Amino acid sequence: MADVPAKEGKYIYCIIAAAEPETYTSRGIGARGDAIYSVCCDGLAAVLSNSPVKPHSATRENLMAHEIAIEEVMKQHTVLPVRFCTIAASDDQIREILQKEHARFTDLLDKFASKKELGVKAIFKEEVIFAEIQNKYKAITDLKASIISLPAEKTYFQRMKIGEMVEAALKTEVEQLKHEILRLLTPLAVEVKINSTFGERMIVNAAFLVEKDAEEKFYRCVNDIDAKHGARMKMKYVCEVPPFNFVNLTIKV
């Protein structure tokens, strides 16, 4: 028996404030490359594309398509990102959603209209931090010196101990610098989201919701931190992203 084709629906990317429908150059999620456009109702609009009513896998391609569409819209509008793979039945259902959720969406758009999400990541430079630990922590230096002239087969447990001590020292260095970075940047933000770090050398992976008129001050603070610690760590500053860390609308369709 032949497969029954999936019904056609409307994949929603984000909600914006707009009175007139728009079209966009980005292509819709999935292999078909559907056009992206907006549907308006009472001063709000949903940005969407045609899509089969079926789950889209969270592949890199699909996640990028979702994000790129929102980033394009963000160039002209305050955006409320919608949760990945939210698919409505029709344009009419989209309008019903915009009417039903009008107060919630309007309040959120007002909240984010004057704010930006800024991202900060920092990671220790491997060759620098481990050399620094070797010099800074005397117990590690002394233990290494005590076994330097002994055969490797006789120093197994000592080398295991050194590894554990270096690991503990690295955690200490990470926590100390993380505390310093967050202490300096947090007062400049309205909200902060601390995300998971990856690997033992990553110091911080955070998103900051910042008033637009405070962005320059925030940027200068990031630069000051980088100037102070740049010899021992790499810092990445991201300033043009949708506010995924602070709003990710769940819409019941």
103-141: per-residue pLDDT in tens? 999 999 999 999 999 999 999 999 999 999 988 888 888
Q: Looking at residues 13-32, what average pLDDT do you find?
A: 94
Q: Looking at residues 201-219, what average pLDDT do you find?
A: 96
Task: Check whether 153 has a pLDDT greater than 80.
Answer: no
State the pLDDT confidence band at 61, using cuts at 50, 70 and 90. Answer: very high
Contact, 87 vs 53, CB < 8 A? yes
Give ∠ CA 30-32-37 in degrees, rounded to 5: 85
Q: Is the pTM of this model over 0.75?
A: yes
| Half-sphere CA count of 121, side-chain side, radius 13 A | 13
State the pLDDT confidence band at 157, using cuts at 50, 70 and 90. Answer: confident
Per-residue pLDDT at 176: 96
Task: Check whether 159 has a pLDDT greater than 90.
Answer: no
Separation of alpha carbons 105 and 99, rounded Å? 10
State the pLDDT confidence band at 143, using cuts at 50, 70 and 90. Answer: confident
Separation of alpha carbons 208 and 18, rounded Å? 26
- Backbone φ and ψ for 206, nearest 5 degrees, come out as -135, 155
Per-residue pLDDT at 13: 97
Q: What is the mean pLDDT of the chain?
A: 92
Q: Looking at residues 160-167, what average pLDDT do you find?
A: 85
Task: Check whether 5 has a pLDDT greater than 70.
Answer: no
Per-residue pLDDT at 4: 55
Task: Check whether 48 has a pLDDT greater than 90.
Answer: yes
Contact, 19 vs 46, CB < 8 A? no
Task: Check whether 251 has a pLDDT greater than 60.
Answer: yes
- Cβ count within 10 A of residue 153: 6
Per-residue pLDDT at 218: 97
Per-residue pLDDT at 161: 86
Separation of alpha carbons 210 and 212, rounded Å? 6
Task: Check whether 6 has a pLDDT greater than 80.
Answer: no
